[in-house]
Amino acid sequence: MVKNLQKSLIEKETLYGANNYSPLPLVLNKGQGVYLWDVDGNKYLDMMSAYSAVSHGHSHPELINVLVEQSKKLAITSRAFYTEPFGEYIEKLSTLSGFSNILPMNTGAEAVETAIKAARRWGYFTKGIEQNKAEIIVANGNFHGRTTTIVGFSSEDDYKRGFGPFSPGFVEADYCSSSCDCANVCEKSIDSISKLINKNTCAVLVEPIQGEGGIITPRDGWLKQLRQLCDEKNILLILDEIQSGLGRTGKLFAFQHEDIVPDGLILGKALGGGLLPVSAFLSNEEVMSHFNPGSHGSTFGGNPLAAKVASKALDLLFDDSLIENSREMGSYLANELRSMECKIIKEVRGKGLWIGVEIEQNISAKKICLSLMEEGILAKETHETVIRFAPPLIITKEEIDWAIARIKKVFNSYT
Ligand SMILES: Cc1ncc(COP(=O)(O)O)c(C=O)c1O
């Protein structure tokens, strides 16, 4: 009878939904820490964290407390007014990140759109690019969200099919992959970016690690070279750290692995503490000064409730040692996966608690995720042959050991 409940809820989603997702066949109704429960009471280890949005763990009690208290006091006003929590929140994010100015948004895609607008205005107003000629270089395999502008420069046909016409002004260069066969850093990628630069180029927009692209990890030194190139050519380097930021890779920001600083940074997901959609574009005064009242905005962006929750989410990165745990547990999990000696594993890659396991091409990653689900582990495939493991950053060694035993059992059942 209880099983029927899952079935009927799935039927409802299918009947009344838009069919733009293909979820695993289970219906969740509770989350706590690293665990999720379905409506039948079955418990699962969440190794996906809502695409890295739940870094703090589900329903973190301190975040819930802030959410409840602030929503009783003042939740939404729009930015037609100054509000108490907003200034304090952006001061904290600025101090923490080193970026002087912050423009708040809600979803990741909105913050990417904000970065695009900022880069174009900087291109026209600071660099002197001729009106409507600005170009932004993006990477193949990118994922920056789902608006029509953003999917327009995706390399995935399925993200674009039937959604054109798309915005002009984006050109695609090669991304760097750690498995490329370049002798040094990654000449192929840096050369292809160089070749696309012209007097109209205002920015290079990339992810420091391509998450949706399959946890593609560039070679060490690539970001540094990209930074140098952008400096030489007077181009903004904008990093989309919506997924890689806020501790996911074992550093506060992924760019810190390379000791560089981008001109613009895009954050989202974990910024909302796993409770609310909170995103932001961060940059310096020169870039941000080109926004004026009326040029950009969002009804919900920077609302008091989001500001208070995001502010607490930032504190908890340190109070709960999430960044160190990501680094330590990430390297433990990656080593355990690497030493599994399982025939179906081609490669284990990633940084911190953001790990992609590339499996042999003749095996369906989705099927493996279904088998993992049967064993009590929720993970999601990306690009047919990659299974990503990105648990909440609070996961412990014991929980990883529990998962590894089950992952091993499932992987071995496919050989
Ligand atoms: C790197 C990156 N950029 C942008 C986005 C889009 O964020 P949202 O789904 O919140 O719009 C995502 C989402 O997965 C992402 O991983």
408 sits in which H/E element: helix 397-412
| Predicted confidence band of residue 186 (pLDDT cuts 50, 70, 90) | confident
Q: Whose CA is nearest to atom 10 of ligand 1?
A: 108
Give the whole-number percent of the chain exceeding pLDDT 90: 93
Parallel, antiparallel or unpaired: strands 201-206 and 135-139: parallel
What's the pLDDT tens digit per position in 361-410? 889 999 999 999 999 999 999 888 999 999 999 999 999 999 999 999 99
What's the pLDDT tens digit per position in 197-206? 999 999 999 9
CA dist 226 and 395 (Å) reads 34
**Cα of 413 from ligand 1 centre, angstroms:** 33
Check residue 87 and give its pLDDT: 98
Check residue 160 and give its pLDDT: 97
Check residue 178 and give its pLDDT: 72
Equal CATH topology for 2-56+321-412 and 61-319: no
Q: Let me know if 133 is a catalytic residue.
A: no
Beta bridge partners of 38: 28
Cis geometry, peptide bond prior to residue 391 (ω within 30 degrees of 0): no
Closest by alpha carbon to 86, among 312, 315, 306, 281? 306
Q: Let me know if 240 is a catalytic residue.
A: yes
Domain extents for the chain? 2-56+321-412, 61-319
Ligand 1 within 6 A of 330 CB?
no
Question: Is pLDDT of 182 > 80?
Answer: no
Ligand 1 within 6 A of 211 CB?
yes
Catalytic residue among 86, 99, 143, 411: 143
CA dist 245 and 260 (Å) reads 14
Ligand 1 within 6 A of 268 CB?
yes
- Residue 345: helix, strand or coil by DSSP? strand
Q: Is the pTM of this model over 0.85?
A: yes
What's the pLDDT tens digit per position in 108-135? 999 999 999 999 999 999 999 999 999 9
Catalytic residue among 86, 174, 263, 269: 269
Check residue 32 and give its pLDDT: 98
Fold of the CATH domain 61-319: Aspartate Aminotransferase; domain 2 (3.40.640)
Catalytic residue among 174, 240, 263, 320: 240
Instruction: Report the nearest atom of ligand 1 relative to the CA of 266.
Output: 3
Mutate to test the pocket of ligand 1, among 242, 265, 275, 300 (most ligand atoms within 8 A of CB): 242
CATH homologous superfamily of 2-56+321-412 equals: Aspartate Aminotransferase, domain 1 (3.90.1150.10)
Q: What is the DSSP string of 256-290?
A: GGTT---SEEEE-GGGGTTTS--EEEEE-HHHHTT
CA dist 270 and 242 (Å) reads 8
CA 289 to chain CA centroid, nearest Å = 26
Check residue 2 and give its pLDDT: 55
Q: For 310-338, what is the mean pLDDT? A: 98
Instruction: Report the nearest atom of ligand 1 relative to the CA of 244.
Output: 1
| Predicted confidence band of residue 179 (pLDDT cuts 50, 70, 90) | confident
Q: Let me know if 188 is a catalytic residue.
A: no
What's the pLDDT tens digit per position in 231-267? 999 999 999 999 999 999 999 999 999 999 999 999 9
Q: Whose CA is nearest to atom 2 of ligand 1?
A: 144
Residue that is written with structure tokens 């205005």 in the block: 121
